[in-house]
Amino acid sequence: MRGLQTLLRIRETYIGIVAAIAFQLIFFTIWMTAYDGVNERADQLSIGLLTEDTEMGSQIVKDMKDNIPFTLKEYSSRKDAEQALNERQINMIMQIPANFTKQLRTGEKAEIIYSINQANASVAKNMMDGVAKQLTEEMNQMLYPLQQNQAIEVFSQQFAQLPFEQNTSQQINASVQTTVMTVKDHAVNATIVKTNDVEGFAANFVPLMVIISSFVGAMVMIMQHQQAAQMVQSSVSKWQLFLARQLLNVGVALTLPFLTIGLMHLFTISSNESFLSIYFFQSVLFLAFLCLAQVFVILFGNIGMVFNICALSLQLVTSGVLVPKTMLSEGYQQLAAMLPATYGADGYYTIIFGGSAANLLQNSSSLAIIILVTLAIATVTVAIKPAPALTSS
């Protein structure tokens, strides 16, 4: 009991209890509000249509526009559609080949090709896979009666040419059997092509893992540096201390990527990007996390860690790793554009799964802007806050 009484006299004991409660409140509040109504915003997902068949293919596309609950974008070339898919502007390509109608009329199995980008949020990938199968089933149900009518029409033409002899009934039966047998209840096959796919289930979690480990690591590092700064602030000037902290941030940001890349190789997570590209991107990403975590602590002191907890949860739900950003509410989409995890996740999808290499440069540029803005805020805050009195050594 004496030990308990001693702990209860220390302020940090209560801070720890409050932190545990705060984690529960913050995570539940942010995650539940961010993902509320996600299913109702499924229409924000996009499907690219590439219609090479001008007959039945065009009719199918017309019916889709009236019935499918997704945003549809038509493309005239495969190259443009693939570029949009790689840049995650659309979630799937539905291609109707030029010989689609011909295959149906000759009794062959027609084919529709679906391309789904695996470098995307799990919800989007699974949803598009289900949509491809559902669309094919609905097309089969729609085309079956059409083929039956065509079969009847063909039979009528054949019957009109039959001679009226004793074996007429046998010929009619043979003709009916031959014609009806050409009608298939599943006339369309679905070929699902998974672009930018990689082997290994664990690879799907690399973007999420990097975000969590990097930002939590940044939070802990900044918290410890803040405590160290408070211990020595009476012996060095505030600008010397601020500069020293930035040098530490840059030094760690330039060192950490070696560990990240080494762990990826250790667990056989491959990438088509060069070592320098991954190293540069991870350095910029971690520095952005450090600067974001730092600015709250410089602005609000130790209470700033509460804001960092909020930032952690916000970044997890808005990064696009678990749920596509387009399926979030408008407010959370706007927040996503201001948080480094959004660009970190997008960049790591390119690193792990492949796609448009220009994404890495675009995401690095966005992260650099976040670094500059947070550093500017931190610098202005340090300039405004009064410096503690220095003690003579």
Instruction: Between 18 and 362, name the one with better pLDDT.
Output: 362
Structure tokens at 252: 């760690």
Q: Classify 55 as helix, strand or coil.
A: coil
Provide the 10 A C-beta neighbour count for residue 24.
Answer: 9
Encode pLDDT of 373-391 as tens digits.
999 999 999 999 887 766 6
Task: Indicate whether 275 pLDDT > 70.
Answer: yes
Please check whether residue 367 is in contact with residue 284, taking contact to mean a CB–CB distance below 8 angstroms. yes
Please check whether residue 344 is in contact with residue 368, taking contact to mean a CB–CB distance below 8 angstroms. no
Question: Which residue shows structure tokens 């992260």?
Answer: 367
- The CA distance from 225 to 277, in Å, is 29
- The CA distance from 28 to 33, in Å, is 8
Task: Indicate whether 19 pLDDT > 60.
Answer: no
Helical H segments across 267-303, by residue range: 275-300
Encode pLDDT of 137-179 as tens digits.
777 776 666 555 555 555 555 555 556 555 555 555 556 555 5
- 40-195 is classed CATH 3.30.200.210: no
pTM over 0.75: no
Please check whether residue 346 is in contact with residue 365, taking contact to mean a CB–CB distance below 8 angstroms. no
- The CA distance from 51 to 55, in Å, is 10
